[in-house]
Structure 1
Amino acid sequence: MSMHFTIRPVALCALTLVQPQLMAQVPPTAGFALPAQGSSYADIADLVVNSPLILDAQIRKVTKLPETQAVGVPANIQRVVIDADVNSLIRGSDGFAAKARFLLDVPKDAKGKIPKLQKRRYFLLGSKVAGNPGMLKLSRPDALVEWSPENDATLRAVTKEAVQIDAAQAVSGISGAFHTQGTVIGEGETQIFLRTAGGQPISISVLSRPGQAKRWAVSTGDVIDESAVAPARNTLLWYRLACSLPRALDQRLVESGEPRDIANAQADYRFVLDSLGPCGRNRPAPRMR
């Protein structure tokens, strides 16, 4: 995805204007970035969908803050000021400065030291700070992704989908479901309707026919799409479903209330969850967006 990258001169201001309380909430054993190897699609997607600004940058300078400017930070965490050179703007409107500055809480090792960060390349995910050109507020304390070809490809793929007008929205629950019996034994269809953060209609259909493998599909419009298919793994729609759907279908949401319809609808819902597979998230889920 090609995006405009505006270089602007900037005088970096004092950090006293931006002291996000969120930084003090970093668990003592937490890391500060997704690693170059082994980062899951879900972990990267969690950051992308909650970050209006994404920068590809290289760390130039690390300045440790004294305890007087890091009140409430655990003893085994070092709060630092990071100055970074911006290589490119991956997501964001109105460009960004050629240099970025932000606060970061880094876990100390057994000797009380932090890793050497200078010259390391990271994706920085967050938002601009109003009135402070070049200042970045991370989306969460560990909203850094260490650069690697694999992380680069995944982050750009998620971003490309996330910026689309019809991008799949966060799933907040199930609004209703029904099961229709077919004309022959073993035939039937289940429809499951989802609630989303912005009101986008998303529905799941599961079709059963004798002698055929059960099939399911997802529609993202007001009308059920007959050509809809199940989402491919490691896509935004797959992530929204695999990481957000409830682990079971509440029987009270099945319209007819008949035991047979409830049992069939719940079995079809379990089939969908099994088909999606595990979310793969390795860190706590962020607030829904």
Structure 2
Amino acid sequence: MTHTRSPKTFTLGLAAGLALAGALAPAGAAAQPAAVPAKGGGPTYADLADLADPADLVIRAEVRRQALLKPERAPNVRPGYGRLYVEARTTALIAGNAPIGESIRYLVDVPLDEDGDPPRLKREEVILFARPGGRPGEIQLVAPGAQLLWSEPLEARLRPILAELSAPDAPPSVTGVRDVLSMPGNLAGESETQMFLNTNGQGPVSITVVRRPNMAPVWGVSWTEIVDQAARPPARDTLAWYRIACFLPRELPAEANIAQDARSRAQAAEDFAFVRQSIGACPRNRN
């Protein structure tokens, strides 16, 4: 294939490229709460965790060849973006145990410039978040744009996330709030609220908020069957923080508040809001 300066589209000369374009559409990311814009343009902890969590393979690769697909071969591409067919050389398998070859092929959506041209990625090193494709040498990105330009600092930030995700005691994914019950104590101003969260079946998660007279409320997360009053909030930019901050609803669902009297229901809602405020926002820079 002959490259010309700033090509707008290519007709792929490789049968493998045509097959990949026709049969391998990038998978969409899982539904997530609305992103909170982050300061700065680089990927946040949540951005990296969003990509790493569903990925079977995290690959460092060098781009060898790229081709911008014609619009008819690139359905569902958002405005201002184009879909590239990319051939790359594997530099390293950062995470995953599926076999991959030295040469890989994939599709990725990239922003176009004002002339409708994609970035020139040849010889650039990238990090890919992917699953094995349908044919040897093919991979499927976990999201249309699940490709990041590699840098040593970026890989250094990514590796602890991958280590947490692969740990035997990794915090499970939170999918919602099951039940919240607030119970008053024996003294005025004393209460305990327990929140039981839904997960993807990997294990229980509960949050406890304890209030005592003349003391600031304390809360913590338990990742076992035992509700632990000694549990503490997760540290920011950890997998446990990500599971709570990025997937806990903004407000307590009314159907999850199982307290019977109005006072206890109000306390449960207040404690949920307290936890939500304490855990903080989940900033993301990726759209």
The alignment's TM-score, normalised by the length of structure 1, stands at 0.81
Determine whether 1:52 maps to 2:70. Answer: no
CA displacement, residues 184-237 of structure 1 (integer Å, 9 cap, x when unaligned): 112111100000112520000011112222111101111123442111111111
Shift of 1:178: 1.1
Q: Structure 1: which amino acid aligns with 2:19?
A: L
Determine whether 1:204 maps to 2:197. Answer: no
Closer, same or farther in 2 for the Cα pair 1:106/1:251, shift >3 Å?
A: closer
What is the match of residue 122 of structure 2?
Answer: 118
What is the match of residue 16 of structure 1?
Answer: 18
Deviates more, 1:64-73 or 1:78-87: 64-73
CA displacement, residues 52-104 of structure 1 (integer Å, 9 cap, x when unaligned): 11101121222334556446757854432212222211221133212221122
Shift of 1:13: 7.1
What is the match of residue 92 of structure 1?
Answer: 96
Closer, same or farther in 2 for the Cα pair 1:246/1:114, shift >3 Å?
A: same
> In the alignment, which of 107, 111, 116 is matched to residue 107 of structure 1?
111
Shift of 1:277: 0.5
Closer, same or farther in 2 for the Cα pair 1:222/1:135, shift >3 Å?
A: same
> In the alignment, which of 198, 220, 225 is matched to residue 223 of structure 2?
220
For 2:28 and 2:72, locate their aligned partners in 1 and report how far apart those are by CA, in whole Å: 13
What is the match of residue 193 of structure 2?
Answer: 190
What is the match of residue 47 of structure 2?
Answer: 43
What is the match of residue 3 of structure 1?
Answer: none
Closer, same or farther in 2 for the Cα pair 1:107/1:268, shift >3 Å?
A: same
Asked if 1 retains the 8 angstrom alpha-carbon contact of 2:181 and 2:194, the reply is: yes
Identity among equivalent positions (%) equals: 35
Q: Structure 2: which amino acid aligns with 1:198?
A: G
Q: Secondary structure at the match of 2:284?
A: coil
What is the match of residue 128 of structure 1?
Answer: 132
Shift of 1:143: 0.5
Q: Structure 1: which amino acid aligns with 2:112?
A: K
Determine whether 1:268 maps to 2:271. Answer: yes
For 2:268 and 2:78, locate their aligned partners in 1 and report how far apart those are by CA, in whole Å: 49
For 2:70 and 2:131, locate their aligned partners in 1 and report how far apart those are by CA, in whole Å: 25
What is the match of residue 62 of structure 1?
Answer: 66
CA displacement, residues 11-66 of structure 1 (integer Å, 9 cap, x when unaligned): x97133333344899xxxxxxxxxx9521111111111111111011212223345
Q: Secondary structure at the match of 1:84?
A: strand
Deviates more, 1:220-229 or 1:50-59: 220-229
Q: Secondary structure at the match of 2:101?
A: coil
For 2:115 and 2:176, locate their aligned partners in 1 and report how far apart those are by CA, in whole Å: 46
Asked if 1 retains the 8 angstrom alpha-carbon contact of 2:63 and 2:89, the reply is: yes
Q: Structure 1: which amino acid aligns with 2:42?
A: G
Closer, same or farther in 2 for the Cα pair 1:71/1:214, shift >3 Å?
A: closer
Closer, same or farther in 2 for the Cα pair 1:141/1:251, shift >3 Å?
A: closer
CA displacement, residues 222-271 of structure 1 (integer Å, 9 cap, x when unaligned): 11234421111111111111111111113443333211111111111111
For 1:272 and 1:125, locate their aligned partners in 2 and report how far apart those are by CA, in whole Å: 32
Q: Map residues 143-158 of structure 1 onto 2, 5 A cutoff.
A: 143-158=146-161
Asked if 2 retains the 8 angstrom alpha-carbon contact of 1:168 and 1:240, the reply is: yes
The alignment's TM-score, normalised by the length of structure 2, stands at 0.82
**Unaligned residue ranges in structure 2 (runs of 5+):** 1-13, 30-39
Deviates more, 1:161-170 or 1:227-236: 161-170
What is the match of residue 4 of structure 1?
Answer: none
Q: Secondary structure at the match of 2:196?
A: strand
What is the match of residue 181 of structure 2?
Answer: 178
Shift of 1:275: 0.8
